[in-house]
Amino acid sequence: MTPTTSTSSPSRPAPPNGTALPNGAALPGGTALPVAAAAATRRAALRLIRLDGRAFALILVLNSLAAGAGLAGPWLLGRIVDAVRDGAGVRTVDRLALVILVCALAQLLLARYARCAGHRFGERTVARVREQFADRTLALPAATVERAGSGDLTARGTTDVASVARTLRDAVPEVFIAAAQALFLLGAVVVVSPLLGLCGLGLSSGLLAVRWYLRRARRAYLAEGAATSALAELLAATAAGARTVEALGLQERRWAASEAAIERCRATRTRTLFLRSVLLPAVDVAYVVPVVGVLLVGGLLHGQGPAGVTSLSLGTVVSAALYLRQVSGPLETILFWLEQLQSSGAAFARVEGLGQAPQTTGPAAAARLPHPTPRASSAVTWGADQPVAASS
């Protein structure tokens, strides 16, 4: 940092150590850049969606139509089973098979256009995030940037923004399609047979595991991002001051500090890995439970059910089993992107937190500057609020 000389020009003081910022963010120790709270992050995400609301609505419509077209296959297959069992001719089976093919092609085309619309939406939104990050970075006071260090700002502008970009471009379209398909498939099971639809409650064990994961994931991924920023700052400072380190014989000290920072990164990444290692097996087991339940209940009620209970046709059992089996596909897609969603959520909180740091540009900031009585004086300050020498 370069000392600055000022002549009777007051500068805006930086917040004291630990000063609370809006939405729960803070500058711990007066050095770290703030991180947006969960509520502020959600509001920022909704604001980005509203800026491109028509494209977002188109994505929802296309995903819903694609999911609806995909429901025809298992239902028609169940009708084919019942038709064959009742002695229907080949023409009936061929007609139903042709309808299945048409519905599959319609689902393919609708999913393709839905994914294309999602990618376009993601790219436009990423461009807004990058522009906003650049504007906020340029508006930061020099003293704030110097105290925070170049590593934190660099990590937010590269790693965090790239994580948000990947989520908006790739994860969001895939998750939208998968979520629509899962909801429509579960609804179709209830329509085919409300009794067999109750077997879908076996998925609740997976939801409990997801809830357990989400309650711990945000804090773990925020810690991982902070450790990555600290490591980037340490490496950048060591590289920039390599000659000074060598001249003063500080190699061992910097080596030890680097090892400690790497160990903190490893510990935070191990924590997130542990969370995933608990989540994935629990959800995999939850996929199987509903299908087994449908086969057991359907086997008992097929043909001649117990007294007072309506019997189920073989086609109904087959359709319900296929619907619940297909649910695993969309849920696996959501599960595949869940880690990326949590990681990018923490990254977006760090990127959005930059807007909660003190700003120096704009008329509002100028209006807040104090107006002391001018006097002939000069001062050398280290930053904005640490005087080194003064004379008058």
Distances, alpha carbon 276 to alpha carbons 113, 214, 273, in Å: 32, 10, 5
Distances, alpha carbon 312 to alpha carbons 44, 78, 299, 301, 317, in Å: 50, 12, 9, 6, 7
Q: Which of 235, 7, 6, 11 is nearest to 143 (CA)?
A: 11
Radius of gyration from C-alpha coordinates of the chain: 29
Domain ranges of the chain: 32-305+312-357
The amino acid at 180: A
Degrees (nearest 5) of the Cα angle 109, 112, 114? 110
For 379, list phi and psi in degrees, rounded to 5.
Answer: -150, 150
Q: What is residue 26's predicted lDDT score, i.e. its pLDDT? A: 40
Enclosing H/E stretch for 230: helix 204-240
Tokens of residue 358, six digits: 């003190």
Number of H helices, E strands in the chain: 14, 3
Distances, alpha carbon 136 to alpha carbons 38, 122, 133, 214, in Å: 20, 21, 5, 30
Residue-wise pLDDT for 145-200, tens only, equals: 777 766 777 778 888 888 888 888 788 878 888 888 888 888 888 888 888 888 87
List, for the chain, all residue ranges whose pLDDT scores fall below the cut of 70. Answer: 1-32, 149-150, 303-310, 359-392
The amino acid at 381: T
What DSSP letter does each residue of 57-87 carry, written as one string?
Answer: HHHHHHHHHHHHHHTHHHHHHHHHHHHHHTT
Q: What is residue 143's predicted lDDT score, i.e. its pLDDT? A: 78
Q: What is residue 83's predicted lDDT score, i.e. its pLDDT? A: 83
For 31, list phi and psi in degrees, rounded to 5.
Answer: -120, -45
For tokens 């980005």, the residue is 48
Q: What is residue 373's predicted lDDT score, i.e. its pLDDT? A: 58
Q: What is residue 372's predicted lDDT score, i.e. its pLDDT? A: 55
Q: What is residue 14's predicted lDDT score, i.e. its pLDDT? A: 38
72 vs 107: CA distance, rounded Å: 10
Contact 341, 189 (CB under 8 A): no
Residue-wise pLDDT for 304-352, tens only, equals: 655 555 577 888 888 888 888 888 888 888 888 887 888 888 888 888 8
Q: What is residue 360's predicted lDDT score, i.e. its pLDDT? A: 62
Q: What is residue 150's predicted lDDT score, i.e. its pLDDT? A: 67
Contact 170, 347 (CB under 8 A): no
Is domain 32-305+312-357 in CATH 3.40.50.300, yes or no? no
Tokens of residue 30, six digits: 């007066």
